[in-house]
Structure 1
Amino acid sequence: MINVKQSISINRPPSAVFAFVGDQTNAPRWQRGLATVRKIGDGPLAVGTRYEFVRMLMGRRMSGENEYTQFDPDRCVAFNATSGGWPLEASYEVAPAGEDATRLISRIALQPSGPFRVLQPLFATALRRDVRTNLGSLKAILEARDGR
């Protein structure tokens, strides 16, 4: 099992950070390798909200779906991959970090399967690097003057 936990401080209020990361259709703007994300169905974001995604991973196109397992506005969103390969659980937690600043914590648990289990240490290193890069991109986008 690969477990990654990283955090970053973002100079935006928690509500603004949560609104952006809580809507996965924003993710291709800041997550490397993520080509598209589409919400499945109508209605507000909540536990049970589902998304389908297309991601490039090690030069291969991978598609799948995930579903929100926790949705606590302005605090935490968590989801599980429901298809698309390896079992994955992920979450984003936001907390105040001073005036108009937020601490965002990203957690990912991923279980490579089959012959890829042997390469788990390499995947873990690459995933940690990607999460760090992605959080830096998220910070840059959200701290831009208009936050868009």
Structure 2
Amino acid sequence: MVDVKCEIVIQRPRAAVAGFAADPNNAPTWYANIGSAVHRGGPPVGVGTLVDFGARFLGRELKYTYEFVEWVPGSRLVMRTAQGPFPMQTTYTWSDEGSATRMVLANTGEPAGFSKVAGFLMAPMMRHAMGKDLRKLKELLESGAADR
């Protein structure tokens, strides 16, 4: 079992942070390992939304589909995938931190196949990647680059 959580405080209002982070079209701009995200069915996002991702992890190309299983706009998003080598649940939570926003990114999953062999490496690698991704998100949002 892999269970990794990272958090960051972003100097932007919660609606702006949550709105940008929860939009699947923005994922490739702040996730280093995600090369593509295709939202099936188009906006708006909500419970049942399906997003096809193309990613690279541990030197392998991965294709997987996340389903939004919980959606509380501006507060919480839970996405889950059951197929692929690494069934995963990703949770975003956003809360006010004064005039800023605290974002928590959590990933839990049960590696299988190739990923199970590399399982002991996964948590520290995921923690490093997730921290880097959150720092990129912070940079995009605080610089105003996400508004362009």
- Structure-2-length-normalised TM-score: 0.93
Q: 2:124 — aligned with what? A: 125
Q: 1:137 — aligned with what? A: 136
Q: 1:62-114: per-residue Cα shift (whole Å, max 9, x none)? A: 11111000110110111001433211001110000002x00001110021113
Residues 13-22 or 110-119, more deviating: 110-119
- Cα distance in 1 for partners of 2:18, 2:37 equals 17
Q: 1:88-144: per-residue Cα shift (whole Å, max 9, x none)? A: 001110000002x00001110021113532432211110010001000000000101
Aligned residues: percent identity? 29
The 1:114/1:42 distance shift into structure 2, 3 A limit, reads closer
Aligned-pair distance for 1:145? 3.0
Ranges in structure 2 where 5+ consecutive residues have no aligned partner: none
- Cα distance in 2 for partners of 1:109, 1:75 equals 19
- Cα distance in 2 for partners of 1:97, 1:2 equals 28
- State the superposition RMSD in angstroms: 1.4
Q: 1:28-66: per-residue Cα shift (whole Å, max 9, x none)? A: 101111100010013411100110011012222111111
Q: 1:9 — aligned with what? A: 9
Ranges in structure 1 where 5+ consecutive residues have no aligned partner: none
Task: Give the match's secondary structure for 1:46.
Answer: coil
The letter of the residue matching 1:145 is: G
Kept after mapping to 2: 8 A contact 1:53/1:64: yes
- Cα distance in 2 for partners of 1:141, 1:9 equals 13
The letter of the residue matching 2:55 is: R
- Structure-1-length-normalised TM-score: 0.93
